[in-house]
Chains A and B, each alone.
Chain A
Amino acid sequence: MKELAGRLAALDPDAGAALQVIAYFDRLIEGRAGLESLVRGAAVLSGCPARLVDEERGVRVRVEAEGTRRDDGGPLDPAWPSAPLTPDGPPAVWLERTGVSDGVHAMVLERAAAAARAVLDRTRGRAPAEARQADPASVEVLLDAAATEHARRQAAVRLGLRNVSAARVVATAEGGPLVEAVPATGDSTPTTGGRRAGIGPAVPVRDLPASWAAARTALRFTAEGTDQDPGPRTVYADELGGLALLADTVGPTTEPVPDVRALEHAVATAPWAASTLNAVAFSTSLRAAAAELNVHHSTLQDRLVQAEHWLDWPVQDPHGRLRLQLALVLRRLHRNAAR
């Protein structure tokens, strides 16, 4: 090893040295070595101190040429050769050397950066949402109530949830579940990535399977938010109340009640029906509904007369409004299959 380091420092880059660099990092990856080992490999193979700096995750590792870890190395010098963790990202792996870098140094940087990225994704997760998707297998274990407690704890550690007091699951319409920490105080906006999402309750990490089940239920109450499929794109399980019970009894194969059939008929007949009835059902007043729909008050009145004819029940008294709300919600449940 000492000999190799000396050789790399002294010799022109040749295929043999490059192959040894590749073999060295491949074995580290195979052995699931940690970040310090990777940085040490970069330092020893290139014969100068090496650093890994990932500000986003708060990671700073510095190893001297002979393999000792010493993190206090002073400021980074932009003149040093470096490599980013992601193609267009900021420089993350550095070799503390000036002068001409040869192909072997470039190879060391490239291999070290690629290996470090894999380890970071595996062990620390990413700061925002993508990272949690980056390890779907760990999420799967964490949310599987049938997995052993040990396996689920390990998965939580891999996902960066070791010291988290509360977390929740975000079920999205496309793509897998996301798990995110919930701060003890203050609001936190769930990470939905703009997708339709059901938000599970914040729970201790060990109870995440329950949060996942609740999030899936909440997802079924969401809508696209379009004219043909009006309704909220994000639904909190905590806010469903008694409606959650409906999710257990209604699915795509359940026979719709007559109110839902009538609603479907209305929606199929007029392009404005779905959004108009949704606005009327869930707005505080007809005036607010008209504003939301961007139509004149009298236009709304005309539409309601037509709609009540199709539905065959009045929608403006409290009982009729409840029937309308339930019909709209049941329509979403029929459309959104359980997953």
Chain B
Amino acid sequence: MTTNPSAEAQGSRIGPPPPFDPELAAALEIIREQLPSSFSIEMIPALREGIALSEGADLDLTRDGAFEVEERTVPGPQGAPDISLLICRPTRAAAAVPVVYNVHGGGMVIGDNRTGVGEMLDWAEELGTAVVSVEYRLAPEHPHPALVEDCYAGLKWTAEHAGELGFDPERIIVAGASAGGGLTAAVALLARDRGTPVLLGQVLLCPMLDDRNDTPSSHQMAGLGVWDRAANHMGWTALLGDARGGPDVSPYAAPARADDLSGLPPAFIDVGSAETFRDEAVAYASGLWQAGGRAELHVWPGGFHGYDLMAPQAALSQDTKAARLRWLRRLLEN
């Protein structure tokens, strides 16, 4: 079960925004020139264009031959188009390897299966895992449940073809950042409720979990940083239309809506203290613990949304990434 830490409930006790970490604030100064805090739906085509220009092409997915990379078309959800999976397998694996299943971010409206895959490959190189990254349909052209069902279909196919791909079906970890973190949590709920596959862990990085968009942190950070309250409103509206924030939103769309968080795989959750998603991420971790689950929560002081991707050199980003890697290592070695 979860509670919505809504701003209304907190009344006037919401203080000023927490300060950004000094290094991150300096980086934000530069990032801001390329990326506004808020987006409107009309900006989506331009954003997609911008992302296409900045990502993907020059990314060496093979890491100098450490990975064998293929793009595989696999069946989508019932009655829906096929989906594409980016599959990166370690070339030097002797036995079945664990697999990190990446659900990319992008506010439900942008991004592709290259987005954010760099860090997953860092983990894979360090821990000897494979990486599978799913290309899911995007809102607003494709509203809920297209996105989460695509993600689930790709996950199910990966588990079912583990033997053929050289994966250990007992050790599948789902992971995603931002909207990808929300979809990752949703996929974990689906896998639990449908009984398959059984997941080893879920990694929710600054996850987008709550369509109500009304936590104290979402109010505090309005107009500040990256992906503020208005941008978040846009993203959820693209996914849910008029249902956004209403009484009938499925937990498979917004995992913060789940009444039952029992029986989920161990979770790693991290988030910055100076971002929209802080309170919903903390609430989700609390919900997991209250349901008797295992979760490790990191709230990094002064982090804005996606700071580790946009300012990877900052000390806080380095610590953030190190903590993820340590958790994954413990998970895989136990």
Q: How far is the CB of A20 from chain B (nearest CB, A)?
A: 5
With a CB–CB cut-off of 8 A, which chain A residues contact B317? 67
Let me know if B313 and A24 touch, CB within 8 A.
no
- A37 beta carbon closer than 8 Å to chain B: yes
Which residues A33-72 have CB closer than 8 A to chain B? 33-34, 36-37, 40-41, 43-44, 66-68
- CB of A24 within 8 A of CB of B318, answer no
Compute how far the CA of A20 lies from the CA of B54 in the bound complex, rounded to whole angstroms: 20
Q: Which B residues, 208 to 245, have Cβ-Cβ distances below 8 Å to chain A?
A: none
CB nearest to B302 among chain A residues: A31
| Most-contacted residue by chain A among B25, B30, B34, B311 (CB, 10 A) | B30
Contact B20 A24 (CB under 8 A): no
Docked complex Cα distance between A4 and B317 (Å):
17
* Interface-centre pick from A1, A2, A4, A43 (highest chain B CB count, 10 A): A1
Q: Given that A31-B19, A31-B21 are known contacts, is A2 also in contact with B26, CB under 8 Å in the complex?
A: no
In the complex, which residues of chain A have a beta carbon less than 8 angstroms from the beta carbon of B22?
27-28, 30-34, 37
With CB as the reference atom, state the residue of chain B lying closest to A28: B26
Q: Across the interface, do A37 and B315 meet the contact criterion of CB distance under 8 Å?
A: yes
A161 to chain B minimum Cβ distance, whole angstroms, is 25
Question: Does A23 belong to the interface (CB within 8 Å)?
Answer: yes
| Contact between A24 and B30, CB atoms less than 8 A apart | yes
Is B77 an interface residue, CB under 8 A from the partner? no
Complex Cα distance, B79 from A310, in Å, reads 122
Report Cα–Cα, A16/B31, bound state, in Å: 13
Q: Are B26 and A33 in contact (CB under 8 A)?
A: yes
B23 within 8 A of A: yes
Q: Is the CB of A67 within 8 A of B318?
A: yes
> Among residues 312 to 329 in chain B, which have CB atoms less than 8 Å away from a CB atom of chain A?
312-315, 317-318
Q: Is the interface of B mostly helix, strand, loop or mixed?
A: helix
Question: Would you call B29 an interface residue if the criterion is a C-beta within 8 Å of the partner chain's C-beta atoms?
Answer: yes
A50 to B314, CA, bound (A): 15
Contact indicator A41/B29 (Cβ below 8 Å): no
A45 CB → nearest B CB, Å: 9
The answer to whether the Cβ of A3 comes within 8 Å of any Cβ in the partner chain is yes
Contact in complex: B30, A68 (CB < 8 Å): no
Roughly how many angstroms separate A30 CA and B23 CA in the complex, as a whole number?
10
**Is A236 part of the binding interface, using a Cβ–Cβ cutoff of 8 Å?**
no
- Please determine whether B312 and A41 come into contact, CB atoms closer than 8 angstroms: no
- A212 touches B (CB below 8 Å): no
Q: Is B27 an interface residue (CB 8 A)?
A: yes
- Partner pick for B315 among A20, A30, A40, CB 8 A cutoff: A40
Q: How far apart sit A25 and B30, CA to CA, in the bound complex (Å)?
A: 11
> In whole angstroms, what is the CA distance A34 to B313 when docked?
15
Q: Is the CB of B23 within 8 A of A68?
A: no
Choice from B21, B54, B312 contacting A1 with Cβ under 8 Å: B312
For this complex, into which size category does the number of interface residues on chain B fall? 20 to 34
Determine if A67 and B312 form an interchain contact, defined as CB atoms under 8 angstroms apart: yes
B310 within 8 A of A: yes
Are A41 and B25 in contact, with the CB atoms below 8 A? no
Distance between Cα atoms of A48 and B30 in the complex (Å): 19
Give 1 or 0 for each of B289-322: 1 = CB within 8 Å of chain A CB.
0000000000000000000001111110110000
Contact of B25 among A1, A5, A27, A36 (CB under 8 A): A27
CB closest chain-A residue, reference B314: A67
Most buried by A among B23, B33, B315: B23
What's the least CB distance linking B280 to chain A, in Å? 26
User: Please, which residues of chain B bring their CB within 8 A of the CB of A2?
Assistant: 312-313
Contacts of B33 in A (CB 8 A): 20
C-alpha spacing A24/B312, complex, angstroms: 15
- Mark contacts of B4-32 with chain A using CB atoms, 8 A cut-off: 1 yes-contact digit, 0 otherwise: 00000000000000011111011111110
Q: Is the CB of A40 within 8 A of B30?
A: no
Q: List A contacts of B23 (CB < 8 A).
A: 28, 31, 33, 37, 40-41
Closest to B20 in A: A31
The answer to whether B27 touches A24, judged by C-beta atoms less than 8 angstroms apart, is: yes
Q: What is the distance, in angstroms, from B26's C-beta to the closest C-beta of chain A?
A: 4
- Name the B residues within 8 Å of A67 (CB-CB): 312-315, 317-318
Report Cα–Cα, A234/B174, bound state, in Å.
74
Are A66 and B312 touching (Cβ within 8 A)? yes
Q: Are B313 and A4 in contact (CB under 8 A)?
A: no
Given the known inter-chain contacts A37-B315, A66-B312, please indicate yes or no for A20 contacting B30, CB distance below 8 A: yes
CB nearest to A2 among chain B residues: B312
Q: Bound complex: CA of A313 vs CA of B314, how far in Å?
A: 79
- Given A1-B313, A31-B22, A66-B313, A23 contacting B29 (CB threshold 8 A): yes
A5–B142 Cα distance when bound, in Å, is 37
Residues on B with C-beta less than 8 A from A26 are 26, 29
In the assembled complex, which residues on chain A have CB atoms less than 8 Å from the CB atom of B310?
Answer: 1
> B33's closest neighbor in chain A, by CB?
A20
B188 to chain A: closest CB distance in Å? Answer: 31
Complex interface: chain A residues within 8 A of B30 (CB) = 1, 4, 20, 23-24
Contact B315 A27 (CB under 8 A): no
Question: Is B314 a contact partner of A40 (Cβ separation < 8 A)?
Answer: yes
CB-defined A-B contacts under 8 Å, sample of 25: A1-B27, A2-B312, A5-B313, A20-B33, A23-B26, A23-B29, A24-B26, A24-B29, A27-B28, A27-B29, A30-B22, A31-B20, A31-B21, A31-B22, A31-B25, A33-B22, A33-B26, A37-B22, A40-B23, A40-B315, A43-B313, A67-B312, A67-B313, A67-B317, A68-B318
Given contacts A20-B33, A31-B23, A37-B26, 8 further A-B contacts (CB under 8 A): A23-B30, A24-B26, A24-B30, A31-B20, A31-B26, A33-B22, A37-B315, A68-B318
CB-CB nearest 9 A-B residue pairs = A67-B313, A31-B22, A33-B22, A27-B26, A23-B29, A44-B313, A1-B311, A37-B23, A24-B26
